[in-house]
Structure 1
Amino acid sequence: MTARTWFGITRLVMAAACAVSLVHRQLWGLSSQTIAGQNFFAYLTIQSNIAFLALAIVGGVVALRREEDPGWLTDIRTAVLSWTITAGLVFAILVWQAGLRGVPMTVPWSDVVLHFILPVLAIVGWIIGPGRHPARWRLVILVVAYPIVWGIFTLWRGSRIGWYPYYFLDLRQVSGFAEFALTCLFALAVFAGVASGLIGLSRFHTVRPREPIHHNQRKLDM
């Protein structure tokens, strides 16, 4: 079995782990009977993991059928992995901030899988996985555009229902507009930084499958 085949199987296993974790996380949230649990799909972290699930399935099938990822798959991987990795970093910061503010925050095993384990495995796969092409720098714009659009919609929706998925988007929970703006700018900078890091890695260490050596070519080499 080739390395590419193993890589495809690994992608599908990660997709299964992501799917199970998403279902568990939703059921766990609904059991709390809170507005947060009822707005499961409003979280950027959840949306990014749903995109990760779809990507892992498509990427796994492609890896089992082709020796190299097509360019469009590398573009999508760059964007989705940037969102997923950043979501994990933001989640870790939220847990830390909740502790500083004395707000109890329970972290189920599904959150650990979605926000920490899968992103780490995705980074490893990005670095050593076979058949990946270099990513394009202009994808940073796409990576940053998604949270901006999501943020605008979330602010509008939050003003109507009185609830926001993350505390820093709610002016009632921060010291003022300055903290709100700086936190949002910091989050966007992290998105851009993660995307730039992935693109840089893709150009520094691009792994491609070896070309098969034909019988006639072997004779010439001898």
Structure 2
Amino acid sequence: MCARASEPARTRTTARGILSAPRLLVALAGRAPGEPSGFSLATAGARTRARFSVRRAYGVGRVVLAVVGVVALLGYFDYVLGFAAFAVYNYFSYFTVLSGMAAVIAFVAGAIIAFTRAVDPAWLDWFRLLITTYIIVSGIVFLTIVIQSSSRDYTIEVPWSSQLLHFWIPSIALLDWLTDAGKTRLPWKTTAWVMLVPGIWGAFTLVRGALVGWYPYFFLDPAQVSGPLETLLYSLVAVVLFTGIAAVLTAMSRRPRRRTPRPE
């Protein structure tokens, strides 16, 4: 009788345990490794909301950056039209202009993903890495040209549109890449793709320049360099810049995520 009298008590206890199990599993599933068992669903919800709030902030920033990019491209187009000898179609021969257009697309795509997802898909960060590399190299090359212009007896103006395209937008895009915690972990083989577009652009520019007699940059123009070896030297420097910067950006995407310890 004692055994039978105790059976209902065991049954009620077991039922309560079964009903509470799903809630426990859900709470534990949302708990990151190393977090205390006191972690609750409310804490998980708050952390998720905070994460998406930060992602939305990045999305807004990328929308602003895309708008600034469009304004800079239009302003630079208006600026180069002021040169009497400038042909409109030459505008699209500048690597800075082409990479700037691609950057606007990357900013818009990055904003859309930031508004809708907590983590970037691999294809987006692969595209962002390439574009960020291209606009950074464009800024470095342009800065080098401006510095060297004094030794070549000519002056290069740097209007506000050019400052945005060559300096401000690349710097902010780099800051975005370094601080964005939603990046995916990119493989090292990503850097193998970085020279594809510059290689095609360089070959096209040399062939086109020989036909029309115009080059977007002095180091590609045979009339402005000492010979093919100088052009080759500049090209090798560009290759080092492209691959080196792409490798650094890839390394930044592979950094381990640090978790902030929570109090017991």
CA deviations 1:155-202 (Å, max 9, x no partner) are 110010001001111111101111111111111111111101111111
Give the residue type in structure 2 aligned to 1:42: S
Aligned to 1:112: 163
Write the deviation string for residues 65-89 of structure 1: whole angstroms up to 9, x where unpaired.
1111111101101111111111111
The question of whether the paired residues in 2 share the 8 Å contact of 1:44 and 1:87 is answered with yes
Alpha-carbon spacing, 1:207–1:134, altered in 2? closer, same or farther (3 Å): farther
Higher relative contact order (CA 8 A, sep 6+): 1
> In the alignment, what sits opposite 1:171?
222
Mapped pair 1:15 → 2:29? no
Native 8 Å contact 1:140 1:195 kept in 2: yes
CA distance in 2, matches of 1:36, 1:190: 30
Aligned counterparts of 1:42 and 1:176: Cα–Cα separation in 2: 22
After the TM superposition, which residues 70-109 of structure 1 pair with which residues of structure 2 at under 5 Å, given as runs?
70-109=121-160
Q: 1:51 aligns with which of 102, 108, 124?
A: 102
Query: 1:146 offset after TM fit, Å?
Result: 1.1
Which residue matches 1:219? none
What amino acid maps onto 1:18 in structure 2?
Answer: G
Say if 1:134 and 1:206, in contact at 8 Å, map to a contact too.
Answer: no
Measured in 2, the distance between the counterparts of 1:41 and 1:117 equals 21
Number of aligned residue pairs:
211
**Offset at residue 144 of structure 1 (A):** 1.0
* Candidates 165, 171, 187, aligned match of 1:136: 187
Residue number among 62, 85, 88 corresponding to 1:34 in the alignment = 85
**SS of 1:172's equivalent?**
helix
| CA gap 1:127/1:194 in 2 versus in 1, 3 angstroms | same
TM-score, with normalisation over the residues of structure 1? Answer: 0.89
CA contact (8 A) 2:80 2:86 kept: no
| 2:235 is aligned with 1:204 | no
Which residue matches 2:37?
none
5+ residue gaps in structure 1?
211-221
Summarize deviations over 1:123-145 as a string: whole Å, max 9, x none.
11111113111222222221112
* Structure 2 unpaired stretches of 5+: 1-49
Which of 88, 108, 111 is residue 60 of structure 1 equivalent to? 111
The aligned counterpart of 1:216 is none
**CA 1:60–1:207: 2 relative to 1, 3 Å:** farther
Using the size of structure 2 for normalisation, the TM-score is 0.76
Distance in 2 between residues matched to 1:36 and 1:75, nearest whole Å = 34
Give aligned-pair identity as a percent. 35
Compute the displacement of 1:206 (Å). 5.2
